[in-house]
Structure 1
Amino acid sequence: MKIKSRHKKVLVEIICLLFIILFVYAGLTKLMEGDRFYTNLNNSPLFGIKTLAGIMSWVIPILEIMIAALLAWPKTRLIGLYSALGLMIIFTAYTAGILFISPYAPCSCGGVITLLSWKQHFILNTLWIVLAIMGIVLYPKFRKLYGPVSC
């Protein structure tokens, strides 16, 4: 079954919209609950360096919001998809580290994600990776529809 190019475009748009919602929500939640996010990073067995936790408590949410902006703008959408993929791979590696290496599991992220176990979080992150890959694979097929990609 072949998917028509306009359907591919719609799929990429949906994938980008889902990532925009995820990253804006996650980034704003981390910024609004800054003390809690910092404490979670500081208590993490993988991040537990106070200076690193302080830096990452600002870098991560700002990066999430910046990637959402890249995804929202058609000319930077492909860069945004690659950035989303990279960030989700990093988040998934961190989650895998907590699951398989860490001697204990710290508190989870803020917002709705607190309702998930670390195993469920790992599965969810893996699904986001699959979505990012789908978006990247489908995107170049109709570059003419989006216009040139600027760097």
Structure 2
Amino acid sequence: MKWYQKHTSLITEIIGYLFMLLFVFAAATKLIERDSFFNNLNNSPIIYHQTMATIVSWIIPILEIAVAMLIAWPKTRKKGLYGALILMIFFTFYSAGIVFFSPYTSCSCGGIITLLNWPQHLMLNIVLILLALTGIKLYRKKKPQLPYSKAE
């Protein structure tokens, strides 16, 4: 048995914990610094209307928390990994829009991510998409374990 086959469950859990940490931290930062997050969205050329910025400034952290909660429970982990993939795809398109089309490059990210410039942020998002795809693929390979044996 190959190493990755033997440790598929562990790798999937590590990927899940990474996304939980990322999304809870990002959501908390956006909620704590909501005014800054809203202003960055409102000034963004991609989300240019105040009403849309208001809606997005609430929906994004709520979705991040919801995805983290889905990943936290084994029964919903696969759905959570798909949610992480979808969020990361949206964030990547947003980052690409900022990198290639926007003169405004402010970021309301928190922690170590604030040290990244937009092209680096875009690359991080692509790596996270690949990680989500890896987690989904490995999760699919897991064989379902029955709670009882057939002899019972």
Question: TM-score w.r.t. structure 1 length?
Answer: 0.91
Query: Residues of 2 paired with 1:42 and 1:106: CA distance?
Result: 12
The structural deviation recorded for 1:115 is: 1.4
User: Quick one: structure 1 residues 44 and 8, their matched pair in 2 at CA, closer, same or farther if it must change by over 3 Å?
Assistant: same
Q: Tell me how many residue pairs correspond in the alignment.
A: 146
Query: Residues of 1 paired with 2:12 and 2:146: CA distance?
Result: 11
SS at match of 1:110: coil
Decide which structure has the larger Cα Rg and report it: 2
Note the 1:120-131 alignment, pairs <5 A.
120-131=120-131
Query: Residues of 1 paired with 2:126 and 2:108: CA distance?
Result: 16
Give unmatched runs, 5+ long, in structure 1.
none
> Which residue is equivalent to 1:12?
12
Give unmatched runs, 5+ long, in structure 2.
148-152
> Which residue is equivalent to 2:99?
99
Query: Residues of 2 paired with 1:145 and 1:38: CA distance?
Result: 46
Aligned amino acid, residue 123 of structure 2: I
What are the superposed Cα offsets for residues 85-130 of structure 1, whole Å, 9 maximum, x if unpaired?
Answer: 000000000000111122x033112312221100010010011001
SS at match of 2:106: coil
Contact 1:75–1:146 under 8 Å retained in 2: no
Query: Residues of 2 paired with 1:3 and 1:40: CA distance?
Result: 45
What are the superposed Cα offsets for residues 57-91 of structure 1, whole Å, 9 maximum, x if unpaired?
Answer: 00000100000000001000000000100000000
The structural deviation recorded for 1:143 is: 4.1
